[in-house]
Amino acid sequence: MNKKWASILLIIIGSLTFTGCKKYLDLEPKNSTYDQVFWVNGSNVQKALSGSYSMLRSAFQQDRSYFVFGDIAADNFALGGDFWNYTSFIQTGNFNFGYAPYLEPSLWNWSRFYSVINQCHLIIENTPKIPSDKFSGGEAQQRQLEGEARFLRAYVYFYMQRVWGDVILTTESLKDPQDVPSLPRATEDEIFSFIVADLEKSIELLGSTGNKAVANKGAGQALLAHVHAWNHDYEQAEKFASDLISSSQYELEAIDDYTKIWNGNSKESIFELNMLFDAVSNEATAGFFNVFLTEPFIRNKGLNSTWSLSDFVTDQLFDQEEARFDEVVETGSGGTRYILTKYSGVDYYDANNPDTYVVSNNLVLLRLADIILLRAEARFKNGDVAGALEDLNLIKERAGLEPFTEQGAALFHEIFDERRRELIGEGHAKFDMIRMEQLSRLFPDAYSQARIAAKGYHWPLHMRQLLPQAPLLTQNEWWKSH
């Protein structure tokens, strides 16, 4: 073959391959967005923020851990037969949180909450770097988004701290995955000053929007009141509770409208997680609130798959006739036990599938009645008995109960009992018992002085899962030997 032709052919083919391939060696995904291109405008920040709410919602829903931590562990409910593996968490199981078959990933593992925290870190760090004109709502929206993220970060840390005790505190997002610092648990002081700083900043940044499914200024104030109360700094607690109450942004619902509280955006609600049904978005689920319900609310559902109110709650806690009880308690399937109907927005939305339903209610995390009772507690602790009685009786009045008049320890116990009645099935009772130091009074057998001293009211951590990733982590004192 002719040499010249051969070399021409060679050159042509060679150059074709070389020019063609360069652009195929630096390829970027077309099927997803990624870190380097994400933080560019307000719309993306909004999506990320929705992501954090959504992750928090899933975190609470997992194994219904929100209610396990708040209500089951406070013995508010009796467990149907299907919940055999929850039985050690109630009084008859001596509140033995160290035995949680199949529930270890949710009840002993806090990792999912750290995902929310990391997401908040990212938002807080990146939002101020984006020019304000990239936000459709301008600087106000920019401030609002950062404020929500700060609120949420504080909320999650505070929640974790109450469930598992001292957390590992990360204050910023991960910068270099290959140089992750080994962190031990932080001290209580560090954690709380971080939470308080976040919340104070969020109160500055947040506006007073009407939508309760996202954080606003009132949510910041309410949470700050709770944080201070938890630390028994009742003066600060009273201050922030009063700030919120006097802001007149929120009103108690009338007793006839009591169940509206859980139907979304009520006057009384301060902050809630959206789980309402609508035809497009699939935010409502069946498998969360349905645990409280039987027939006739949900077809073919019996007490076996239900948490009904515990005997103590129906017989002793609700010891007087009241309108509130009638609003949110019914007899369950079979008529033998009482069930809670705060979350009874059952919707059989699909005509084709008679068994497909969702429970369309919101999970209310903070509401006015809670803050009023918290202020009653704070006022009592601050020596303002009259103020405490005033707040307490505001709630009693709405419930259709006689005003309370006693003082001293009886008043304090009554404030506690009223909280337990008012907020039953809302994930508060266990934390109230810890904060108001009621555990050894109520459950002297399970909560010995030694257990209280070792903070045995916190939940154990899943060391097999967590320790390999965080060698400095320690198990909670009580669960090292129980």
Partner 1 sequence: MNMTKCFTFFLLLFYISTANAQQVSITGIVRDSEGAIPGVTVSEKGGKAYPVQTDIDGQYRITVNNPESTTLVFSFIGYVKQEQRVGSRTSINVVLEADLAALDEVVVVGYQQQSVRKTTSSVQIVSGAQIENLPAPSFESLLQGRVSGINIQNFTGEPGARNTFTVRGNTTISPDLNSEIDLANTMSSPLYIIDGMPVSVNDLSGSSATGTNYIAGINVNDIESIVVQKDAAATAVWGSRGANGVIVIKTKSGATGKPTVRLSYYTGATQRPELQRTVAGAQERRQKIGLINEYGSFAQLSNIPQVLTDSLNPSFNNATDWQDLFYSTGRVSNYDVNIAAGNDIINYRLSLNYYDEDGIVRNTGFSRYSLRGNFDFKLFPAAKTNLIVAASRMDRKRGLGRGVDEIVPISATSMPASFVRLTDADYDFYYGQYDKLRDDNQTDAVSIFSQTDIDVYKGIKYSLQASAQATMDRRDQFQPTEIATNGTSFSSGDRYDLYTYNLTNILSYGKTLAENHTFALTGMQSFEYNNHKNTYVLGYNLPTDDIEVVQGIAQRDLRGYTDFREAGLLSFLGQLAYDYKARYMFNASWRADVSSRFGKDTKWGFFPALSASWIASDEAFLKDIAWLDLLKFRGSWGESGTLPQDFYAPFNVWDLPTSTYDGNTVATPSFSKPLTLPNLTWNKSSQINLGADLFLFDSRLNVMVDVYRKETKDPIMAFDFPFYTGYSSLSYNVPMTILNEGVDLQISTRNLSGTSVLQWTTNLNLSYNKNRIGSLPNGDRSFYADSRGYNQQLLYTVGSPIYRWAQMNYQGVYNHQDQIPVNAVTGNPVTYFKGNYPVKPGFPIWQDVNADWDVWSDSDKGAADGDLVPTGDPNPRFTGGLYNEFSYKNFSLSVLGTFTFKRDIINTYMSNQFNGVWNFGGINNFANQRLPDYSEINYWSPSKAQDPEFSADFPSLSPYGPNYYQFLPFSTLWNENGDYFKIKTISLGYRINDESLQRLGMGLNQVRLYAIADNIYTFQSSSVPDAELVTPQGEYSGGAYPLPRKFTFGVEVTF
Footprint on residues 92-121 left by partner 1 (CB under 8 A): 98-99, 104, 108-111, 114-119, 121
Residue with tokens 């934390």: 431
Query: Which residues inside 188-227 make contact with partner 1, applying CB under 8 A?
Result: 211, 213-214
Verify binding: residue 410, partner 1, rule CB under 8 A. no
- Please name which of 282, 450, 425 lies closest in space to residue 358, comparing C-alpha atoms: 282
Q: How many whole angstroms separate alpha carbon 373 and alpha carbon 391?
A: 6
Verify binding: residue 352, partner 1, rule CB under 8 A. yes
Residue closer to partner 1 (CB basis): 292 or 479: 479
Tokens in use for 172? 């910023």
Verify binding: residue 439, partner 1, rule CB under 8 A. no
Cβ distance 377 to 247 under 8 Å? no
Site residue total, partner 1 (CB under 8 A): 92
Query: 269 — phi, psi (to 5°)?
Result: -70, 140
Query: Count of CB atoms within 10 A of residue 426's CB?
Result: 24
Strand positions, DSSP E, 430-474: none
Verify binding: residue 177, partner 1, rule CB under 8 A. yes
Q: Which of 29, 210, 335, 383 binds partner 1 (CB under 8 A)?
A: 29
Q: Which of 42, 53, 63, 135 binds partner 1 (CB under 8 A)?
A: 53
Query: Which residues inside 151-170 make contact with partner 1, applying CB under 8 A?
Result: 168, 170
Query: Which of these segments, 34-42, 71-79, 140-148, 404-412, binds partner 1 (CB under 8 A)?
Result: 34-42
Q: How far lies 195's CA from each of 117, 350, 360, in Å?
A: 12, 44, 32
Binding pattern for the stretch 60-99 against partner 1, x by CB under 8 A and - elsewhere: --------------------------------------xx
Angle at CA 427, nearest 5°, toward 426 and 431? 135
Residue closer to partner 1 (CB basis): 207 or 471: 471
- Please name which of 274, 343, 265, 374 lies closest in space to residue 60, comparing C-alpha atoms: 274
Residue closer to partner 1 (CB basis): 438 or 476: 476
Tokens in use for 394? 């505001």
* Least Cβ distance, residue 10 to partner 1 (angstroms): 6
- The 8-class DSSP code of residue 47 comes to H
Verify binding: residue 24, partner 1, rule CB under 8 A. yes
Cβ distance 433 to 442 under 8 Å? yes
Residue closer to partner 1 (CB basis): 1 or 386: 1
Verify binding: residue 474, partner 1, rule CB under 8 A. yes
Return the C-alpha torsion angle 86, 277, 120, 474, nearest 10. Answer: 0
Verify binding: residue 450, partner 1, rule CB under 8 A. no
* Least Cβ distance, residue 138 to partner 1 (angstroms): 19
* Least Cβ distance, residue 117 to partner 1 (angstroms): 6
* Least Cβ distance, residue 94 to partner 1 (angstroms): 12
Verify binding: residue 40, partner 1, rule CB under 8 A. no
Q: How many whole angstroms separate alpha carbon 436 and alpha carbon 62?
A: 28
Strand positions, DSSP E, 171-326: 269-273, 307-309
Binding pattern for the stretch 245-284 against partner 1, x by CB under 8 A and - elsewhere: -----------------------------x---xxxxxx-
Q: Which of 34, 386, 445, 450 binds partner 1 (CB under 8 A)?
A: 34
278-284 CB contacts, 8 Å cutoff, 24+ apart: 279/349, 284/347, 284/358, 284/359, 284/360
Q: Which of 8, 9, 254, 410 binds partner 1 (CB under 8 A)?
A: 9
* Least Cβ distance, residue 25 to partner 1 (angstroms): 5
* Least Cβ distance, residue 252 to partner 1 (angstroms): 24
Verify binding: residue 347, partner 1, rule CB under 8 A. no
Residue closer to partner 1 (CB basis): 255 or 467: 467
* Residue type (1 letter), 368: L
Cβ distance 186 to 168 under 8 Å? yes
Length of the chain: 482
* Least Cβ distance, residue 6 to partner 1 (angstroms): 5
Q: How many whole angstroms separate alpha carbon 471 and alpha carbon 436?
A: 34
